[in-house]
Amino acid sequence: MNSRREDFLKKYSLSDENFPVHIAVIMDGNGRWAKKRLMNRVKGHEKGADAIRGIVELSREIGLKYLSLYAFSTENWNRPKTEVSALMSLLERFIKNERSNFLENDIRLNAFGELEKLPDKVLKKLNALMDETRSNSTMCLNLCLSYGGRNDILHAVRKIAADVENKVISPDDISEETISANLYTKGFPDPDILIRTSGEMRLSNFMMWQLSYAELFFTNTLWPDFTREEFLDIIRQFQTRDRRFGKV
């Protein structure tokens, strides 16, 4: 462990033992945050995008390897056009604003989901930054965009069915690993922790396969108000949980 990380762990009362590798977050409550302040929902999303920065910075400091954020679901396309387009503009701005941060701090950006549905100009910028950060390895930030857990599994099933049809594999050879290897998240470890903000207690079609053994944390805090302290507190709680993975 490098000494900087050791210092951070000490400062935040975290242990290197039982340290999570992958944390996934459903960033919920932007709309309610804005409503409470009689503001437009888009203001809530803007504040929500700002809240991401502190959590990414902290994650990197403490040596978290993978952080996955549910930023736009397959269902979110059904929101009013103005809100969808505001979210796309925010994504574009996020890519532009965070570029130097990712390059300076060795952060790799990935995106999971039906990316082809994103507006061309956003997709181009997203792909460019993913390419530019491809060899960064201190931390991976995964944005789930136009992402749905069922859709993820559906894609995987189609790919595996094509492999069977082309005699690349036989049905008997299909294992859990085959399915994992055909999901958008292929090559990434499953999340150890799922956090959902805003008091809702459901998965809302997020990483249905990958979250099988994740420890779940629900907080009433609305995403724009979610702080580094609360994130640390969840990791501390996680470190005290007994994960048995179905064993005794």
Question: Closer to ligand FPP at the Cβ: 48 or 63?
Answer: 48
Q: Select from 16, 73, 30 the least CA-distant residue to 203.
A: 73
Does residue 120 have an active-site annotation? no
Interface residue with ligand FPP, options 22, 45, 60, 108 (CB under 6 A): 45
As a whole number of angstroms, the distance between CA 176 and CA 173 comes to 10
Q: Name which of 97 and 212 has its Cβ closer to ligand FPP.
A: 97
Residue 19 DSSP one-character state: -
DSSP H or E stretch at residue 92? helix 81-104
Give the integer Cα–Cα distance in Å for 140 and 24. Answer: 12
Strand order in the sheet with 139-147: 107-112, 139-147, 66-73, 22-26, 193-196, 215-218
Interacting residue with ligand FPP among 14, 141, 143, 235 (CB under 6 A): 143
Q: For ligand FPP, which is the closer residue by CB, 220 or 237?
A: 220
The nearer residue to ligand FPP, 75 or 131, going by C-beta atoms, is 75
Rounded (10°) angle between helices 3-11 and 41-61: 120
The total of other beta-carbon atoms located within 10 Å of residue 203's CB is 16
110 vs 198, which CB is nearer to ligand FPP? Answer: 198
- Tell me, by CB under 6 A, how many residues bind ligand FPP: 19
98 binds ligand FPP (CB under 6 A): no
The interface mask with ligand FPP, positions 213-232, x = CB under 6 A, is ----------x---------
Binding of ligand FPP by 191 (CB under 6 A): no
The only residue of 22, 23, 28, 194 in contact with ligand FPP, by rule CB under 6 A: 28
Regarding 149 and contact with ligand FPP (CB under 6 A), the answer is no
Which of 28, 152, 190, 192 is the catalytic position?
A: 28
Is 205 one of the binding residues for ligand FPP (CB under 6 A)? Answer: no
Q: Which of residues 71-90 bind ligand FPP (CB under 6 A)?
A: 71-72, 76, 87, 90
Q: Is 111 in the site for ligand FPP (CB under 6 A)?
A: no
If you search the block for the tokens 């994103």, which residue do you land on?
118
Q: Which residues of 210-230 are buried (b: 16+ CB within 10 A; e: fewer)?
A: bbeebbebbbebbbbbbebee
Among 32, 65, 99, 155, binds ligand FPP (CB under 6 A): 32
Measured torsion, CA atoms of residues 108, 141, 39, 31, in degrees rounded to the nearest 10? 150
Please indicate whether residue 131 is annotated as part of the active site. no
Site membership for ligand FPP, residue 159 (CB under 6 A): no
Cα distance between residue 92 and residue 236, in whole Å: 34
**Residues with catalytic annotation?**
28, 76
